[in-house]
Homo-oligomer: A and B are copies of this chain.
C-alpha cells in the first residue's frame, strides 16, 4: 500500500488558503517528498504526518515555489530527531543550490546526499520501489517523477510440488533467491507465476505537454499534473510561461489512461478550480480538481 498526500495545490506563491504544490508519498516506512516550497512543512504538519521519515526529496526544478521551503523543512526534520541519511534528487546544479540554501541550516543531525539527474530520463532504484525522473519542457530544466512498485507473480504450490522442490526452499524462492543443492539449481521462475500489476504514481508540474509525460503516465494508478490555468484565454499565457492548462493536462490523461487524474499547481488567479471541473471531466472522466491535503491509498488490485 502506498500513502499519497498532495500537501498543497498552489503555483507561484503560497496563499492564505492554498499551500504550494508538493506531494508526500509513504511506502513501507520510507517517506518521499516531491518539491518543498515555502510552507510545505506547515502543510505536512496540518496533515498530521511526521517529517522524520522523509528519506528522499525529489526536486522538480529550482524555481522558488518548488524549493524555498527546503531549509526550514531540513531544520524541522532535525528537530524531529531524524538521524538517518537523506537523499535529495534533482536537476544538475542541485548540490550548489542545496549548499546555498543551507546557509541558514548549516547544522543537521543527518547527512544529505545530493543526486543530480544526468540523463533526460533516469531511474533510481531503492529497496522495493523505483523512482523514474523524466525531463519535461519548462523555461528552466525541470523533471517529472514516476514512483513505482513492482509486484512479483503468485507462488504456485503445484509447480513446486511437481518439480519436487524441497519445502525448505519455497519461502526463499518466493523472495527471489536462487538456490543450489545436490548439484540441482532452483530459480524463482520455477515456482512463481508471471509478474502481477504493480503500483505506479506519476507526478508532473511546470511544463508544456510532452510525449514523455504521456509515456510515463501510462499504467499509472494515479497521475498528478499541473493545471495552471482553466480559462481558454489563458492558453497563450500557458505557452509563454511554459505551463499546462487544465484542458491540456486532461488531454494527456485521455491518451495515457491512468486510473485517476488529479490536477494541481493552480495559478493564484484561479480562485475556484472546481469551476473548471466539468470541462476537465468532459475530456477525461476520472479527473479530480484536487484541494490541499487530498490523500489516498494506492493498493494492489486484490489487496
Chain A interface (Cβ < 8 Å from any Cβ of B): 12-16, 37-39, 41-42, 45-46, 62-65, 67-69, 71-72, 75-76, 79, 96-97, 100-101, 103-105
Could you tell me if B71 and A68 are in contact, using CB atoms closer than 8 angstroms?
yes
Tell me how far the C-beta of A278 lies from the nearest C-beta in chain B, rounded to whole angstroms: 30
Could you tell me if B104 and A96 are in contact, using CB atoms closer than 8 angstroms?
no
Contacts of A42 in B (CB 8 A): 14-16, 38-39
Chain B: CB-nearest residue to A64: B104
A-B contact pairs, 29 of them (CB 8 A): A13-B72, A14-B41, A15-B42, A16-B45, A37-B72, A38-B38, A38-B41, A38-B68, A38-B69, A38-B72, A39-B39, A39-B42, A63-B104, A64-B71, A64-B72, A64-B75, A64-B105, A65-B72, A68-B69, A68-B71, A68-B72, A68-B104, A96-B103, A97-B103, A97-B104, A100-B100, A100-B103, A101-B101, A101-B104
Contacts of A39 in B (CB 8 A): 14, 38-39, 42
Could you tell me if A16 and B79 are in contact, using CB atoms closer than 8 angstroms?
no
Chain B: CB-nearest residue to A62: B104
- Assembly CA distance A12 to B80 (angstroms): 12
Chain B: CB-nearest residue to A97: B103
In addition to A14-B72, A16-B42, A68-B71, 9 A-B residue pairs with Cβ atoms within 8 Å of each other are A12-B79, A13-B76, A14-B42, A38-B42, A38-B72, A39-B39, A63-B104, A64-B71, A101-B103
Tell me how far the C-beta of A130 lies from the nearest C-beta in chain B, rounded to whole angstroms: 29
Tell me how far the C-beta of A205 lies from the nearest C-beta in chain B, rounded to whole angstroms: 16
Chain B: CB-nearest residue to A80: B13
Checking B14, B62, B101 against A100 with a beta-carbon cut-off of 8 angstroms, the contacting residue is B101
- Assembly CA distance A229 to B251 (angstroms): 54
Tell me how far the C-beta of A255 lies from the nearest C-beta in chain B, rounded to whole angstroms: 34
Contacts of A101 in B (CB 8 A): 100-101, 103-104
Counting chain B CB atoms within 10 Å of each CB, the highest count among A64, A67, A75, A100 belongs to A64
Contacts of A15 in B (CB 8 A): 42, 45
Counting chain B CB atoms within 10 Å of each CB, the highest count among A12, A15, A101 belongs to A101
Counting chain B CB atoms within 10 Å of each CB, the highest count among A12, A15, A76 belongs to A76
Contacts of A72 in B (CB 8 A): 13-14, 37-38, 64-65, 68
- Assembly CA distance A194 to B267 (angstroms): 56
- Assembly CA distance A76 to B14 (angstroms): 10
Counting chain B CB atoms within 10 Å of each CB, the highest count among A14, A62, A104 belongs to A104
Tell me how far the C-beta of A110 lies from the nearest C-beta in chain B, rounded to whole angstroms: 16
Contacts of A63 in B (CB 8 A): 104
Counting chain B CB atoms within 10 Å of each CB, the highest count among A12, A69, A105 belongs to A69
Tell me how far the C-beta of A114 lies from the nearest C-beta in chain B, rounded to whole angstroms: 14
- Assembly CA distance A104 to B69 (angstroms): 11
